[in-house]
């Protein structure tokens, strides 16, 4: 049944339910008793009639108080809908993707379905499908420009990683290119994962995509690659964009299409870590590269299962806010 699938992440929060009653009982002095400032004849009769009227009007707020508090406590307990167990074929590979968001990625020299797009859009188009196919891998996402940022930690949730990639924007991490910092951040996260799971050593892989040369960061790309090689992290580098003075549209020479891609450094990074360097001038070549990467042999590991969860706290929280709004309106009308 549906109700059987609802669980509370923090069930201890329900101990707060009697809190208003305890406050009412233990702190009676908090109730105020005011006397009328103006003596009116027959005041007792007048007050009696008003009291009966107010009592009938306060019954509804009393129920709202109780129901609103119950809903607020239920939201605090973090209700979740827990789905049926889903088995995951786990490959044993921790795969980080590092995507360049520097200013040069806005160059429009790729074509997708007849439309001219920038390099980042082409990368999203191809890499998102690649992420979707990586069943069994834990995938993480690093975005880098002048600095490198961890956008998504290693996770089996490919949908979330894909969404975060599609939401990325050029210039989000600065206009320069810090390839060494991106490699260093990936290595740090992969080593942390290995430290947290010492009994399950996974193959460490980084796929780094850029269209420029490293001109920022606190560590050089070659130095970072040497550190990665010592920790057995394999790096596959992808250089994208048209060659200098050459359009990648396949239409021949075209002025204004320029690339500062440092292929020598990208090749050296791949060579030092046992990976491979790829060059993509257009979307077809980029798709072919990711198809090759798809063929990486996995390191088999025992199958795992997980139960997908969906947060439900927003429903009781919305009811509590509604109850509070109604109480406020009724109190203003008294």
Reported as a single tens digit per residue, the pLDDT across 69-126 is 999 999 999 999 887 776 655 556 788 889 888 887 888 878 888 788 888 888 888 8
Judge whether 227 lies within some domain.
yes
Write the DSSP symbol of residue 315. H
pLDDT digits (tens, 9 = 90+) for 191-241: 887 777 654 566 788 888 888 777 777 888 898 999 999 988 889 888 887
Kindly state whether residues 220 and 289 are assigned to the same domain: yes
In terms of domains, do 135 and 168 share one?
yes
Average pLDDT, the chain: 77
- pLDDT score of 59: 53
200 domain-assigned: yes
Q: Does 266 share its domain with 313?
A: no
> Which helix H or strand E contains 78, and what residues bound it?
none
Examine residue 257 and state whether it is found in any structural domain, yes or no. yes
77 and 49 co-located in one domain: yes
- 299: domain range? 87-305
Which tokens go with 70? Answer: 């119950």
pTM above 0.95, yes or no: no
Same structural domain, 174 and 322: no
Q: Among 96-105, 272-281, 302-311, which stretch is predicted with the lowest mean pLDDT?
A: 302-311
162-198 tens-digit pLDDT: 899 888 888 777 777 888 889 999 998 888 877 776 5
What are 279-289's pLDDT values in tens digits?
Answer: 887 778 788 88
Q: What percentage of residues in the chain have a pLDDT greater than 70?
A: 75
58 and 16 housed in the same domain: yes
Cα distances (Å, whole numbers) of residue 59 to 53, 65, 330: 11, 10, 11
Number of domains in the chain: 2
Q: Does residue 145 contact residue 99 with C-beta atoms inside 8 Å?
A: no
CATH of residue 91's domain is 3.40.50.410
Is 32 part of any domain? Answer: no
Instruction: Specify if 35 maps to a domain.
Output: no
């Amino acid at each position: 049944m549906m109700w059987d699938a609802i669980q509370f992440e923090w069930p201890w929060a329900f101990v707060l339910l009697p809190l208003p009653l305890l406050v009412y009982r233990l702190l009676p002095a908090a109730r105020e008793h005011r006397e009328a400032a103006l003596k009116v004849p027959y005041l007792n009769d007048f007050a009696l009639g008003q009291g009966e009227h107010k009592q009938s009007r306060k019954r509804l707020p009393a129920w709202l108080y109780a129901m609103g508090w119950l809903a607020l406590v239920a939201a605090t307990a973090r209700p979740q809908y827990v789905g049926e167990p889903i088995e995951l074929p786990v490959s044993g590979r921790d795969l980080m993707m590092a995507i360049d968001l520097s200013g040069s990625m806005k160059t429009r020299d790729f074509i997708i379905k007849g439309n001219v797009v920038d390099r980042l859009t082409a990368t999203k188009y191809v890499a998102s499908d690649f992420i979707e196919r990586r069943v069994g891998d834990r995938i993480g996402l690093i975005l880098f420009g002048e600095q490198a940022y961890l956008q998504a930690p290693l996770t089996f949730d490919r949908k979330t990683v894909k969404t975060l990639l599609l939401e990325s924007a050029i210039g989000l991490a600065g206009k320069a290119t810090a390839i060494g910092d991106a490699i260093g951040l990936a290595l740090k996260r992969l080593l942390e994962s290995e430290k947290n799971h010492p009994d399950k050593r996974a193959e460490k892989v980084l796929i780094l995509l850029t269209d420029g040369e490293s001109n920022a960061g606190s560590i050089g790309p070659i130095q970072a690659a040497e550190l990665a090689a010592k920790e057995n992290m394999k790096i596959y580098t992808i250089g994208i964009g048209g060659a200098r003075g050459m359009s990648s549209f396949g239409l021949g020479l075209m002025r204004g299409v320029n690339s500062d891609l440092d292929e020598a450094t990208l090749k050296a990074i791949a060579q030092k870590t046992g990976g491979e360097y790829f060059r993509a001038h257009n979307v077809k070549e980029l798709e072919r590269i990711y198809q090759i990467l798809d063929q990486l042999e996995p390191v088999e590991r025992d199958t795992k299962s997980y139960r997908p969860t969906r947060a439900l706290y927003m429903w009781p929280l919305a009811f509590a806010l509604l109850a509070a709004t109604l109480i406020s309106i009724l109190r203003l009308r008294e």
